[in-house]
Amino acid sequence: MLDINEQIRIFGEFIESNYKAELLEKIRTGQKFIALDFFALSKFSPELAEILLDHPEDTIKTATAAIEQFDLPGDVKSFAVRITNLPDSQNIMIRNIRSEHLGKLFTLLGVVRQKSDVRPMVTAARFECPNCGNIMAVLQLDNKFKEPSRCGCGRKGKFRLLSKELIDAQRLVLEEAPEDLDGGEQPKRMNVFLKGDLVSPISEKKTNPGQKIRVVGIVKEVPIILKTGGQSTRFDLLVEANYIETVEEDYSDITITKEDLSEIKELAEDQKLMKRLVSSIAPSIYGHEVIKEALLLQLAGGVRKQRDDGVVTRGDMHILLIGDPGSGKSMLLKRIKVVAPKGRFISGKGVSGAGLTAAVVRDEFLGGWSLEAGALVLANKGVVCIDELDKMSPEDRAAMHEALEGQTITISKANIQATLRCETTVLAAANPKFGRFDPYDTVANQIELPSTLINRFDLIFPIKDVPDLVKDEKMASFILNLHQNPNSEEPDVDTRLLRKYLAYAKQKIFPKFTDSAIADLKEYYLKMRASGISEGGVKSIPLSARQLEGLVRLAEASARLRLSQKVTKKDSRKAVELLDYCLKLVALDEETGRIDIDRIATDTPATERSKIGVLKEIINELENKLGKTIPLEDIIKDAEEKGLSEADVEEVIQRLKRAGDIFEPRRGFISKI
């Protein structure tokens, strides 16, 4: 073993030769820590590197002492030494920590689940003896505040506290990342203790709940105090963090090097850019070109706008896929989770409202209550893929309404009033009402989701699985070939570059509309609104202002994908094309042959509303003629003159009965309430 003076000397030489300039820069900017690379240290002195792993606490103190010996401007007394880049042998899973690991330096990887408030903590205190005036300093290493037991003059107890040194402290709960687990293992949790510069406002952002982080720290034991006041023979574990770095970033944190930038620029100038990107989004799934294009635009996203009056317009697009079983919806969702910089995948039955938004849980560390973020909040600035949306319970689905449109989640429970940000893009998949599409009914009638929720999705794609010999032959060849040669369908643009391309587009490109693009969207909107034909005094509404905002987002996303700062006519055409494609599939009214947004946006389409209006008018006229009780036969006769069939009348009367507008005093007669 090297003695302490020797350790200080080696550390001094190592820092002098590698980190002198960085040290001066840190002091100049007021930062109180320096990160040393373990790999470089092990090259410089393998013996010291080994001692650091086995006795980290003492060795880090010697490194701090080495820095204090430098002739540096300013105060370097409380300068912290951080260790990074530990060897792979020191990576340990939370579940594998045992008593032999106590007091040693390890790297843990996990997701932050909870985070306490930052509170001051005493590190040292100075006491004065009232008898002889002797001043004693006591280091506070345990959880319990310690006073001196006796003074040199013989006095025991009752010493006066002169001063105490405080540092900031905070606790995180780190949970194992799901991708590191086998089968049915439940992710284990570990308390991580942070202090000093690790809880500065700059590094605070790194440790927000939902972030995936790598922690270099010392494993320590914590005594458990029993209810009787004594100490238990069992101890709890805790990791005292020495260094923290984020692993999984949202698009704003992805670093793009000069090489990446030249690749991105080269790709953007390609004439077949759109075709190449679309073929790379999900190469192992056959067909669905239009859907893949829409998903690409969704990943690029529109521009979020914040006006001076405080109103925020979202830039994220939400897409809903409704399709027959086995049409590749879940595979598309799983692939998007991989491509998106911060993707999460959740499935219908296995999710609750609290798991989607946020849950209020008891905080054992500080007492009281704390918030635990759910999937939509954890994926802020990322993508959440929700499979089996139709299998979720209605109360849990209702939790998504605010998140989809307002992009916040408001919690008011157990004295916690909080608004959490959730600028999250949602890609959802569901099955039709009876499991498979009925070719003789409209698509809109087979979507068994509340209209309020459907209305918040910018694009809705029905995926029908219809037998077609030519298409089936191609698809069978494609799937079987993929099984024969698993890597035969390589993406044209590899996933790493695709992620960087999308991240660059979101970081740097904020396109503005040109006059021609605005005119194009306006022309389409007005043309569609004008096509709402009057039927018995009720106009069908082809599309609403929500769809117009959807068009704006689609056009901006299209410009972003081209890395253009201007939204041109080409982008607005692309947006109109996609929306028109969706509306024709979902909102077409067979009776009139026109698009009616009410088929999906409300429970009552325009044609139904016009029938209700006509029938109400007939009932009012007959009531004036015949009095309160009106025979059903007379209503049917009058309705047939106005072009309504008997089946229509029966259906509308049932609706009015359910709504409580009319009742049946006796068989074959109705009365208004």
Spatial separation of the C-alpha atoms in residues 361 and 113, rounded to whole Å: 11
CATH annotation of 258-505: 3.40.50.300
Q: Using the predicted structure, report yes or no on whether residue 590 has a pLDDT greater than 60.
A: no
Region 580-585: what's the mean pLDDT? Answer: 81
State the average pLDDT for the chain.
Answer: 80
Facing residues of 672 across strands?
A: 662
Q: Using the predicted structure, report yes or no on whether residue 185 has a pLDDT greater than 70.
A: yes
Decide: 632 and 669 in contact? Cβ < 8 Å: yes
Give the distance from CA 200 to its chain's centroid: 24
Domain 606-672: top CATH class: mainly alpha
pLDDT digits (tens, 9 = 90+) for 433-462: 877 777 777 776 777 777 778 778 888 888
Contacts (Cβ under 8 Å, ≥6 apart) of 631? 668, 669
Of 58-62, 361-365, 482-486, 623-627, highest mean pLDDT: 58-62
Q: Which among 385, 556, 355, 547 has a CA at the least distance from the CA of 456?
A: 547
Q: Using the predicted structure, report yes or no on whether residue 183 has a pLDDT greater than 80.
A: no
**Where do you find CATH 1.10.10.10 in the chain?**
606-672
Q: What is the DSSP string of 408-465?
A: EEEEEETTEEEEEE---EEEEEE--TTSS--TTS-TGGG--S-HHHHTT-SEEEEE--
Which tokens sit at 403? 């998140």
pLDDT digits (tens, 9 = 90+) for 119-170: 888 888 888 888 888 888 887 766 678 888 888 788 887 888 888 888 888 8
- Rg over alpha carbons for the chain, rounded to the nearest Å, is 33
Spatial separation of the C-alpha atoms in residues 642 and 635, rounded to whole Å: 11
SS3 sequence of 473-511: HHHHHHHHHHHHCCCCCCCCCCHHHHHHHHHHHHHHCCC
Of 27-36, 94-103, 330-339, highest mean pLDDT: 94-103
Of 3-7, 76-80, 635-639, highest mean pLDDT: 3-7
Region 197-205: what's the mean pLDDT? Answer: 74
CATH annotation of 4-85: 3.30.1640.10
Its CATH architecture, for the domain 91-248, is Beta Barrel (2.40)
**Where do you find CATH 3.30.1640.10 in the chain?**
4-85
Q: Using the predicted structure, report yes or no on whether residue 533 has a pLDDT greater than 80.
A: no
Decide: 376 and 423 in contact? Cβ < 8 Å: no
Spatial separation of the C-alpha atoms in residues 197 and 517, rounded to whole Å: 50
Residue type, 225: I
Decide: 295 and 281 in contact? Cβ < 8 Å: yes
Spatial separation of the C-alpha atoms in residues 267 and 494, rounded to whole Å: 12
**Where do you find CATH 3.40.50.300 in the chain?**
258-505
**Where do you find CATH 2.40.50.140 in the chain?**
91-248
107 pLDDT tier (thresholds 50, 70, 90): very high
Quick one: pLDDT at residue 603?
Answer: 54
What is the number of other CB atoms lying within 10 angstroms of the CB of residue 136?
A: 16
534-535 and 538-539 as β-strands: parallel, antiparallel, unpaired? antiparallel
Q: Using the predicted structure, report yes or no on whether residue 536 has a pLDDT greater than 60.
A: no
Contacts (Cβ under 8 Å, ≥6 apart) of 423? 304, 314, 316, 380, 381, 407
Q: Which among 520, 574, 563, 552 has a CA at the least distance from the CA of 305?
A: 552
Which tokens sit at 153? 């003059």
